[in-house]
Structure 1
Amino acid sequence: MKKKIFKNTILIILLLVVLCGVSIIGVLYSYFNKQYVSSLNQAAGYIAEGVNLSGLDFLTDLNENEKRITWVAADGTVLYDNKADPHTMENHKNRTEIKQAMTSSAGTSVRYSKTLSEETIYHAIRIADGSVVRVSVVRKSVPALLMKVLLPIILVLLLGVEFSAILAYRLSKQITTPLEAIDLDHPDESTVYDELSPFIRKIRIQNEQIQKAMTQLQAQKNEFALITENMQEGFLVVDKKEIVLSHNRSISTLFDVDESVDGKHVLEINRSEEFIDCIKKAIQGIHSEYICPVKGRFYNIYANPVFRNNEVAGAVVIITDVTEKEERENLRREFSANVSHELKTPLTSISGIAEIIKNGIVDEKDVKTFAGKIYDEARRLIHLVEDIIKLSQLDEGEQAVEKTPIDIYDLSRIEIHHLEPVAEERHIKINLQGEHMMISGIHSVLEEMVYNLIENAIKYNKEDGTIDVMIKKKKHRCEFCVKDSGIGIPADQLDRIFERFYRVDKSHSKEIGGTGLGLSIVKHGAKLHNAEIKIESALNVGTEINLIFPI
């Protein structure tokens, strides 16, 4: 600003100097021109009077070197000229000043010579005999006069420039110093000249508006940050150059990054090809999503384009944990496959036996045996369907939820009584130990849980083995324990035994029987009763399963 004021001030001052100079020269030239003409008129009148009185003698006796004197007859013939031979001069009757004098007693004209850059002023007066006396004088033109005074003009201009520079510098400093001293945060505290008061007032008003807008923006930013920072989902914003603009705490936790990643390329967060491709599609204006495995879990990446003035300005990325959904989907697929297999096996057996009987291939004495096999397979199907229904009810929460006080000791004794015939076939002894304890539960579900645990202990036990069913109280909790001396479970399969249709020893699954859903029902029943499951097992030693119920 200071430079601009300095430059403009110099230009204005120089312009004023030039205009003043031109005006003064013009005024002086006009003034001296009038004096010149007046002097010439007086001289012409004096000479005309002399010629009128004395004729040619007056002219020859007159000693005049500055002015040119010409005497012209009434017909235009030159009678006398003090600068040239009159006999060689042409007729002057058509000269402007002569013609004017002939008609109105006096005439004046000015003729300019481009070659000599001179002006000649002529003044003619008609005398009594009709002849004309003309007096002329030569003077320099304005350009010629200016050329003569060029050096002084240049000197004056140089002085003007120097003076202008000093004046402009001081003026610009006086103008800008108060402006530079203004405290933009507290303009009212600044000392300025009166002309700046409206400016200071506008700054104050603008500061108030800016502060109000900043407060609103900060409030919105804090609100947005509060929302995004407390989101379980990852939240990421990138611009169209794939530079990270913002991210929340979930992104930092998921990808092990900190705040320094803001302002850097999105590759700093994740370098997987699918992740980058998902964001690139969003920046191209296409919604995209994909499931990304990270740290043993599954995350759904949603990338949506952000438009500004109908152009993509960047992308917003939402990352949600879909591990449970994926696991449920995998379980569903596995469950469907297992159900199909478990249903197909007895149905195939029933169909095959029925076909043999239908074709009359079976002897009458063997029909009963084959019918028994059909019955067994049908019962197996019924048990499978019943277990699937029970498990479905537990999954969907359709089981009756009315809980009543139940003596877990008495319930265990009843279920042991039901299973003793099966245990006796393999010479397995079941022992019930502990005390009577009341828990709040759903009778049908608890009955199924106890039955399945004891039945599994029988199925996977050894001949002449033992099963201990123990009920005891521990710190306001009831612990129900089933311990067998069976084949045990490998340590790497302990986490899977509660999966549907999962069997540790698949080679003996047909011999052992069952649906493979018993422990899954136990798991869901425990969840329904807020019970904790603990399991310990050693190969060829046995397995111990504990259900810990709150009292």
Structure 2
Amino acid sequence: MKRNKSLSKQFLLLMGTFFTLFLIGISSLVGYEHYLTDSFREKNNELEYKEMLVRNIDDSFNSAILQSRGYFAFGNEMMLEDALEQEEIILEYIASLEEMLADGEEQIFPMNLTDFHQVFFGSYLPEATRYYQEGEVENLQSLVYDQGASQEIADFRTYLKEQRLAVDEQIEDNFNLLTSKLNTSQWLFVSYLLFILLVLFYMTVTMFKKVGKPLNELAVTAQKIASGKLVSLPEWNNREDEIGTLSSSFSQMVRSLQANEEEVVAQNEELLAQQDELQAQQDELQNNLTVMEERKNELEARNKFILDLTDTLDKQELLVSVVINMGNVFQANRGVIVLLDHSKLHASFGLTDKAVAQFKSHLANGFVQRARETTQSYSIKRICTPEEKLYHENDMYAYDLVAPIFSTNNEMIACMFFSRYNADFTSSDIETCDALSKQVNIALGKLLAYEESEHDRLLYQDILNSIHEGAQLVNRSGNILQVNTNMCELFDCPSFKKMIQAPFEEWMEKMIEKVEKHENLILYMRNVLKGQTEEGQTITYEIVDQEKRKVMKVYSEEVYRNNQHFGFIFIHRDITKEYEVDEMKSEFVSTVSHELRTPLASVLGFTELMLNKVLSEDRQKKYLTTIYQEAKRLTALINDFLDVQRMEAGKQTYEKKFENIVPILEDVIETQKGSTKKHELTLVLHTQKTTIIGDKAKITQVFNNIINNAIKYSPDGGRIEISVLDSEEKLIVDVKDEGIGIPAEAQKQLFTKFYRVDNSDMRQIGGTGLGLAIVKEIMKGHEGDVELFSKVKEGTTFRLIFPLATHHDEVPNSLSPTSLKDRHVVIIEDDKNLATLMEMELQDSGFAVKHFSSAIHALKEVERKKPDAIVLDIMLEEGKMDGWGFLEKVKSKPNLADIPIIISSALEEKEKGIKLGVKDYLVKPYQTSKLVNTILQTLLEQNQRGEILVPSEE
């Protein structure tokens, strides 16, 4: 075959020609369109530049004309200067226009521009300017109207507009020309494309005739030969292409087939003879195959049995697998396996629950004992029971296989029983059973070992999970071996099971996402794994948490097993509270130092002045007032500390009575008014239901703290409104100020003790941060609540919510002076100064008072003459009777037990005093007026109960 006659070569040549023509046409068309586009762009740029020059010239002339007219109209020299400046600008534009325009008619336009420029700037404008400056208005009007200057300017402006329109028309004509040529080019491309398609169609038809026809004839000839017909071959052998080669090869193949046909017929007869022999061999192979199939099924059953032994970690599933698979191996009709431990766990098939229970209850019979003694499996032949015979009338036999299972220490741990009716168990079956029993033993042993290890693992995991700290056990490479749930919760990890075997980098990434300034933590843990940390070294870090701050401390310990170091345990302990307490302690020490030292400095300073200098009476009174106020401030501060301590210890008690809060609020407001002149304090009542059940002293403390807080945090003054209203059996007191407000982020912690807002304006105000914490606790003690509404720089509203008292009796607040005549009060106090102060206060109120520093002497006096009330200090003379002893003695005497006793002590043991029967418990320091009011209230209550006040007799 010649290469130049190859069909593939011809096809490639035709395709190459087609694509060459196609590419030539496309390239020509694209080149032509580029030429058109470039020509259009060049012409268009030129026209646009010309249009710009004409527009600029028009604008400059208009500007010069308008500016000159403005000059003549208003006399503004600046407008004249602007008009003259356009002269040079217009000349430059005209020069540029002359350069771009060709010779001929296009030069007429620049010449006209030049002429008008010379006339306007050389004649009209100078002459008109001269007339205007010399005041020759008539000559100026003559120049403009009579001599035709105005008309000439108007004609020139019209001429410029016509020139601009002409340029615009040239631009549009250029665009239309481009569009027309592009359309023509596209039609040429479509025509050329149709021509190329016709050429391709002609080439395809030619190739089909040259290739398809001979191939079709060869296919028809092949079908006829395949059907056994004798046909003449087509004459295509003279072709020198692939068709000729195919035709020649096809002819040789046909002749070879015809030559071999006779030989095939002879061989077929010989094969028929051999077929009979093969059939006999096939029958023999079929018998062998049946035997092999049975052996295969037996092996598959044994393999499945062994595989199932290792496929489960559940004991019950293992027993079910054992009894069913061994039943399949032995083709048993019934079977059961029972563990011989305390659980008696079992599995069976073919047996009822009753039969299994019966079997388990007779495990101690001779069959099991024999298997235990012989340590081998054995079979039993017996006559079937009536239940087993079913409808059979003749005797039938059943065969039982007893198979023991022994542990590695030769202890029988389970026993299996199988029954079948078709045949006895052979010695091969028994050997197989013994072998499989050993497999069961191994599987049970592994399962028991797994259960033990799993029990230990779960126990260790439960121990780890019960630890409040996060714990993780890692090997020396940093892979996690064990981790508790607290650790996973800290860092939002998946379940602890998914974290097992997690590499160091993986679990560190989860920690990095949650830890602020994680570099130190990573370095610490890497050093631990490298053994480069000192013993007992720890590190503290903070967890990023939107809700609250978390501070963690982590320490590590090396873990050994069998004296081999295999890893480390990291403990992450939450020390947020300790950390915050340390911060609060530091803040508290600083605050208390300031709050205590400031009033002490005033007290000491004014006291020193009064001791060392002779002062006028007014100045002494002023200094004493200052000392008194600072002492009250110290007292309030100390009382706040003691209140917090008492509340934290759960020792705070309340003497609740029916109280009308309006008088309480009025007293507090009156007191607070004395501490400010900038604020307007007003009380607004929206309800008549103003009675609650509460401790008057504590409620007064709440109102004092809240209103004082409103005064302090509105340093620029303003209105403070105290509103009282009721809602759904609740009494609400709103205290609203117009102060600096409280930031939203600080409001959640505002009622925390020692908390102070981190704000420079509020820092200047001062305070211990205890007032609102005490308010919160007191309101909780009264089954109420306190709420806060605040906006920065707009003010704050504190809402106090009390339960309303639905039934109460009004209690008068005072006794008549005549009822106090000769009332006898005993004071037992070893502090002479304080005792003198109390004695004077009580005497001024109309009481008869006796003072004793010794409880023993006082007891004798009380027994001699029964007083109306006793004021008792707890800490008296050391080594003698103290206040508690005196109290017990008095309460043990029937004739003295009803004397009201008011304890006056610095000890915080009010609960103990109330239990022993005291009437009230006043904690030093307190105002002596409070003692007087307490005694008055006590006597008042006696009077209301019908206890007539009778003066004591000697």
Q: TM-score range by the shorter chain?
A: 0.5 to 0.7
**Contact (CA 8 Å) 1:299, 1:320: kept in 2 or not?**
yes
**1:387-437: per-residue Cα shift (whole Å, max 9, x none)?**
22122222332212x674655xx1353133232253376443222333536
**1:70-109: per-residue Cα shift (whole Å, max 9, x none)?**
xxxxxxxxxxxxxxxxxxxxxxxxxxxxxxxxxxxxxxxx
Q: CA deviation at 1:529?
A: 5.0
Q: CA deviation at 1:451?
A: 2.8
Q: Secondary structure at the match of 1:380?
A: helix
Matching of residue 329 in structure 1 with residue 579 in structure 2: no
Separation in structure 1 between the aligned mates of residue 696 and residue 802 of structure 2, nearest angstrom: 14
**Contact (CA 8 Å) 2:789, 2:797: kept in 1 or not?**
yes
**Contact (CA 8 Å) 1:405, 1:438: kept in 2 or not?**
no
Matching of residue 388 in structure 1 with residue 641 in structure 2: yes
1:417 is aligned, of 639, 642, 667, to 667
Q: CA deviation at 1:256?
A: 3.0
**Contact (CA 8 Å) 1:467, 1:482: kept in 2 or not?**
yes
**Contact (CA 8 Å) 2:661, 2:690: kept in 1 or not?**
no
**Contact (CA 8 Å) 2:736, 2:795: kept in 1 or not?**
yes
**Which residue in the other structure is 1:236 paired with?**
472
Separation in structure 1 between the aligned mates of residue 303 and residue 759 of structure 2, nearest angstrom: 90
2:489 is aligned, of 239, 245, 253, to 253
Bigger mean CA deviation after superposition, 357-366 or 521-530 = 357-366
Superposed, 1:246-395 pairs within 5 Å as 246-259=482-495, 260-269=498-507, 270-271=511-512, 272-276=518-522, 277-278=524-525, 280-281=527-528, 284=531, 286-295=535-544, 296-357=549-610, 360=613, 366-395=619-648
Separation in structure 1 between the aligned mates of residue 446 and residue 703 of structure 2, nearest angstrom: 72
Separation in structure 2 between the aligned mates of residue 435 and residue 508 of structure 1, nearest angstrom: 37
**Contact (CA 8 Å) 1:278, 1:288: kept in 2 or not?**
no
Q: CA deviation at 1:178?
A: 11
Change (3 A) 1:366 1:218: same
Q: CA deviation at 1:353?
A: 3.5
Q: CA deviation at 1:237?
A: 1.9
Return the letter of the residue paired with 1:420: E
Q: CA deviation at 1:198?
A: 4.7
Change (3 A) 1:374 1:392: same
Q: Secondary structure at the match of 1:333?
A: helix
Matching of residue 457 in structure 1 with residue 710 in structure 2: yes
1:429 is aligned, of 682, 696, 701, to 682
Q: TM-score, normalised by structure 1?
A: 0.56
**Which residue in the other structure is 2:722 paired with?**
468
2:774 is aligned, of 512, 521, 532, to 521
* Unaligned stretches of 5+ residues in structure 1: 1-176
Change (3 A) 1:368 1:445: closer
Separation in structure 1 between the aligned mates of residue 740 and residue 686 of structure 2, nearest angstrom: 23
Change (3 A) 1:336 1:432: farther
Separation in structure 2 between the aligned mates of residue 365 and residue 347 of structure 1, nearest angstrom: 22
**Which residue in the other structure is 2:437 paired with?**
201
Change (3 A) 1:241 1:503: closer
**1:485-518: per-residue Cα shift (whole Å, max 9, x none)?**
44544556545654537379877989x8976532
Q: CA deviation at 1:346?
A: 1.8
Change (3 A) 1:204 1:440: farther
**1:185-233: per-residue Cα shift (whole Å, max 9, x none)?**
2485657776666543333223222223323433444455556557654
Q: Secondary structure at the match of 1:257?
A: coil
**Contact (CA 8 Å) 1:282, 1:305: kept in 2 or not?**
no
Separation in structure 1 between the aligned mates of residue 730 and residue 452 of structure 2, nearest angstrom: 55
Q: CA deviation at 1:544?
A: 0.9
Change (3 A) 1:464 1:208: closer
Separation in structure 2 between the aligned mates of residue 423 and residue 266 of structure 1, nearest angstrom: 66
Change (3 A) 1:471 1:382: same
Q: CA deviation at 1:314?
A: 1.8
Separation in structure 2 between the aligned mates of residue 315 and residue 518 of structure 1, nearest angstrom: 48
Separation in structure 1 between the aligned mates of residue 447 and residue 780 of structure 2, nearest angstrom: 56
Q: Secondary structure at the match of 1:547?
A: strand
Please state which structure has a larger fraction of its residues in helix: 2
Superposed, 1:431-510 pairs within 5 Å as 431-436=684-689, 444-460=697-713, 465-474=719-728, 479-491=732-744, 493-495=746-748, 497-498=750-751, 500=754, 502=756
Bigger mean CA deviation after superposition, 279-288 or 202-211 = 279-288
2:448 is aligned, of 206, 212, 223, to 212
Change (3 A) 1:196 1:252: same
Separation in structure 2 between the aligned mates of residue 508 and residue 321 of structure 1, nearest angstrom: 31
Q: Secondary structure at the match of 1:263?
A: coil
Return the letter of the residue paired with 2:501: G
Q: Secondary structure at the match of 2:686?
A: strand
Structure number with greater CO (CA < 8 Å, separation at least 6) is 1
Q: Secondary structure at the match of 1:324?
A: helix
Return the letter of the residue paired with 1:243: N
Q: CA deviation at 1:339?
A: 0.7
Change (3 A) 1:367 1:504: farther
Bigger mean CA deviation after superposition, 210-219 or 283-292 = 283-292
Q: CA deviation at 1:379?
A: 2.6
Separation in structure 2 between the aligned mates of residue 316 and residue 333 of structure 1, nearest angstrom: 33
Change (3 A) 1:371 1:322: same
Separation in structure 1 between the aligned mates of residue 747 and residue 720 of structure 2, nearest angstrom: 21
**1:128-163: per-residue Cα shift (whole Å, max 9, x none)?**
xxxxxxxxxxxxxxxxxxxxxxxxxxxxxxxxxxxx
Q: CA deviation at 1:528?
A: 4.6
Q: Secondary structure at the match of 2:478?
A: coil
Change (3 A) 1:238 1:398: same
Separation in structure 2 between the aligned mates of residue 232 and residue 517 of structure 1, nearest angstrom: 31
1:544 is aligned, of 788, 792, 797, to 797
Bigger mean CA deviation after superposition, 305-314 or 496-505 = 496-505
Separation in structure 2 between the aligned mates of residue 550 and residue 220 of structure 1, nearest angstrom: 56
**1:254-308: per-residue Cα shift (whole Å, max 9, x none)?**
2233254432223422353544425754885945543321013112324333221
Separation in structure 1 between the aligned mates of residue 528 and residue 759 of structure 2, nearest angstrom: 49
Q: CA deviation at 1:309?
A: 1.5
Separation in structure 1 between the aligned mates of residue 303 and residue 745 of structure 2, nearest angstrom: 78
Change (3 A) 1:488 1:395: same
Q: CA deviation at 1:244?
A: 0.9
Separation in structure 1 between the aligned mates of residue 701 and residue 668 of structure 2, nearest angstrom: 12
Change (3 A) 1:429 1:365: closer
Bigger mean CA deviation after superposition, 484-493 or 187-196 = 187-196
Task: Mark the structure with the bigger radius of gyration.
Answer: 1
**Contact (CA 8 Å) 2:592, 2:768: kept in 1 or not?**
no
Change (3 A) 1:211 1:506: closer
